[in-house]
Chain A
Amino acid sequence: MSNPIAALFGRSPIRPIQEHMANAQRCVILLGDFLDACTSDDWQKAQEHQQAIHAAENEADELKSNVRTNLPKSLLLPVARSDLLELLSIQDRLANRAKDIAGLMLGRKIEVPGSLTDSLLNYYKLSLKTSGQALKAINELDELLEAGFRGKEVELVEDLIKELDDLENKSDIHQVQLRASLYKLESNLPPVDVMFLYKIIDLIGEIADDSQKVGSRLLILIAH
């Protein structure tokens, strides 16, 4: 489009980034279905869910590429371009984690000890809540743009992120309890399985950590 007025307006990355985050959250939600299937020993179902997570993660990658290719350096943005790209990377980690956890558990058909199941699922639900809170914050991006990244809207987002931090703290506390429970059981379980169980616990915790990082990135984005 050669007309200068028409050519002036570029494609805003805000909506695509919100879409990507929604997609990443979908991966985390699907992980819940997967974990349910695993802990009920329904490996057929588990595989189906793992495929679904894989497909969703691929979609996330596509969205990510789209944002990156449509963000040339010649674009004047209301926020720093590098901040946006960083935010996108961290959001993407959420999708990847979900995929990794599903792949790992399915590959080894990891059995979760019965006494640990409830605690593990609750731990997952906490991570899910954390990533959900991060999604809530990211969904405020277009309102932030409307407000020009100042004022009341910023305060609102800061409150959301404070809640996000609290959730992540809770997740950390729960992880300590979960690990302690596993520690009590570990001498009765095959050692390799135990190591992988610890790994799974770590990875689920990473979801909460990454969600919190999304929040911090968002704050940096707003500040510049």
Chain B
Amino acid sequence: MSEIISQYGMVFLVMACLFGFFMAWGVGANDVANAMGTSVGAGAITIKQAILIAMVFEFAGAYLAGGEVTSTIRSGIIDIEKAGFADSPELLVYGMLSSLLAAGIWLLIASNRGWPVSTTHSIIGAIVGFAVVGISVDAVVWSKIWSIIASWVVSPMVSGFIAFCIFRSVQKLVLDTDDPFTNAKKYVPFYIFLVGFVIAMVTLVKGLRYVGLDLSYNQSIVIAIGIGGILSFLGVFMLRSIKELPAGDKKSHFGSVERVFGVLMLFTACSMAFAHGSNDVANAIGPLAAVNGVVQSGGVFLEQSQLPIWILLLGGGGIVAGLATWGYRVIATIGRNITELTPSRGFAAELAAATTVVFATGTGIPVSTTHCLVGGVLGVGVARGIGALNLGVVGRIFLSWVVTLPVGAALSIMLFFLFKGIFG
């Protein structure tokens, strides 16, 4: 029905795929490292293991759980009626293309310069930018945007609180007891169960819908308990080979305890990759899905249709590609710079962050995995668990928000008018 769509539809789709892959590549090249770096830095996994885990679980998270946030970015932020897309659907296409390209370019520039940039903030800023300036202020679903921005502030704090509680429990149950090593071996399987259960639970309840599976709440609980249980047994098996070091002094004693927690951190590393994939893949494929929807239907806006599998695969693939070509270097750099984090602390921060992110994913809210992890680490620090933390990082995070949102918006607006000019 729209001439431009029928004329250029394929071109738009190819462009969207390219830009989407570019953006996903950027996520894999830079953002993933933040999720995996703490595990490497704490000595729980090697860089090779980190890359392997990231490849498998980022993809799994993207594929199995990425649907809800993708849906939000695709159509939850823009009000299709108020934006008048029914009459000129090509505007949505231009907007999504420009947002993707803008966010991808900004990500590339910032990563090159070594600036911390949130992929989530970039894409949201870009989308809001083109909608507000390119179309009208009413084109944006402001209630959704405010709740997203609110969660950017709240999610790190929630993550910090959860991390605080988890670490306090570790202190009470393991570290402060008469025999930390025995208690570590006793309680770590429960923590592993928690990791499996929480991640599985949120994914099953919220995410699998987009892959065609729809389970009832009760079914989900049972399966989640099952997954948690299996992982727990796996953990017990892995712990069996860890023996307490013979030397009787305290240092080696705690060293053995940390090795037990190292096994737990292996699981939380996987959960971090999964959580990150589930939340951040949407940054790349949400706009792609929007363009795809418009082009396939020839400009007619249908109800929320299921996310085509190939789009999820493209996003997951892009992340893996970025990780394989560039991301592994960043993981190494981060891991090298983290010297005073041990598994008993790291797992608490990671589990808290992963839980928060997966929960946000389930509610369809795009959040920054990196900021949640920072919040988690700070939560452990408040519980007196870490030797020294730079609070200046918090200020820098605020600063990055102030810069990223306008820059993303500005780039997106420019590209929007560029595309509008080229294609009509």
What CA separation (Å) do A95 and B174 show in the bound complex?
38
* Residues A150 and B178 in contact, CB atoms below 8 Å apart: no
* Residues B390 and A10 in contact, CB atoms below 8 Å apart: yes
Known contacts: A5-B374, A79-B384, A143-B250. The answer to whether A74 contacts B391 by CB under 8 A is: yes
B113 to chain A: closest residue by CB: A2
What CA separation (Å) do A42 and B410 show in the bound complex?
82
* Residues B176 and A147 in contact, CB atoms below 8 Å apart: yes
Q: Does B69 contact A (CB under 8 A)?
A: no
What is the minimal beta-carbon distance from A218 to any residue of chain B, in angstroms?
Answer: 15
Chain A residues near B341: list those with CB within 8 A: 9
Q: Which stretch in A11-19, A23-31, A108-116, A175-183 binds the other chain?
A: A11-19
Q: Does B116 contact A (CB under 8 A)?
A: yes
Known contacts: A148-B383, A148-B385. The answer to whether A5 contacts B334 by CB under 8 A is: yes
Known contacts: A12-B340, A146-B342, A147-B175. The answer to whether A2 contacts B116 by CB under 8 A is: yes
Chain B residues near A151: list those with CB within 8 A: 171, 175-177
B351-385 interface (Cβ within 8 A of A): 370-371, 373-374, 377-378, 381-385
Known contacts: A9-B340, A9-B341. The answer to whether A76 contacts B385 by CB under 8 A is: no
Known contacts: A7-B393, A147-B176. The answer to whether A76 contacts B388 by CB under 8 A is: yes
Size category of the A interface is: 20 to 34
Which of B171, B334, B393 is close to A147, meaning CB atoms less than 8 Å apart? B171
Q: Does B389 contact A (CB under 8 A)?
A: yes
What CA separation (Å) do A3 and B33 show in the bound complex?
10
Q: Does B225 contact A (CB under 8 A)?
A: no
Chain B residues near A12: list those with CB within 8 A: 340, 386-388
Chain B residues near A13: list those with CB within 8 A: 387-388
Known contacts: A3-B116, A4-B397, A8-B390. The answer to whether A146 contacts B384 by CB under 8 A is: no
What is the minimal beta-carbon distance from A20 to any residue of chain B, in angstroms?
Answer: 16
Q: Does B339 contact A (CB under 8 A)?
A: yes
User: How many residue pairs, one in A and one in B, have C-beta atoms under 8 Å apart?
Assistant: 131
What per-residue 1/0 map shows which CB atoms of B105-125 lie under 8 Å from chain A?
000000001111000000000
* Residues A9 and B339 in contact, CB atoms below 8 Å apart: yes
What is the minimal beta-carbon distance from B407 to any residue of chain A, in angstroms?
Answer: 16
* Residues A8 and B254 in contact, CB atoms below 8 Å apart: no
Chain B residues near A74: list those with CB within 8 A: 390-392
What CA separation (Å) do A8 and B381 show in the bound complex?
11
What CA separation (Å) do A21 and B38 show in the bound complex?
31
What is the minimal beta-carbon distance from B250 to any residue of chain A, in angstroms?
Answer: 5
Q: Does B337 contact A (CB under 8 A)?
A: yes
Which of B175, B334, B381 is close to A6, meaning CB atoms less than 8 Å apart? B334
Which of B33, B115, B167, B397 is close to A148, meaning CB atoms less than 8 Å apart? B167
Instruction: Report which B residues bind A (CB closer than 8 A).
Output: 33-34, 37-38, 41, 113-116, 167, 171, 175-178, 250-251, 254, 330, 333-334, 337-342, 344, 370-371, 373-374, 377-378, 381-393, 396-397
A sample of 11 cross-chain residue pairs with beta-carbon separation below 8 angstroms, ordered by A number, consists of A3-B116, A9-B337, A9-B377, A10-B389, A10-B390, A11-B387, A75-B389, A76-B378, A76-B388, A78-B385, A146-B344
Instruction: Report which A residues bind B (CB closer than 8 A).
Output: 1-14, 74-79, 140, 142-143, 145-153
Which 10 pairs across A and B sit closest by C-beta, in order of nearness?
A151-B176, A12-B387, A10-B388, A78-B384, A6-B337, A76-B389, A2-B114, A12-B388, A4-B116, A148-B171
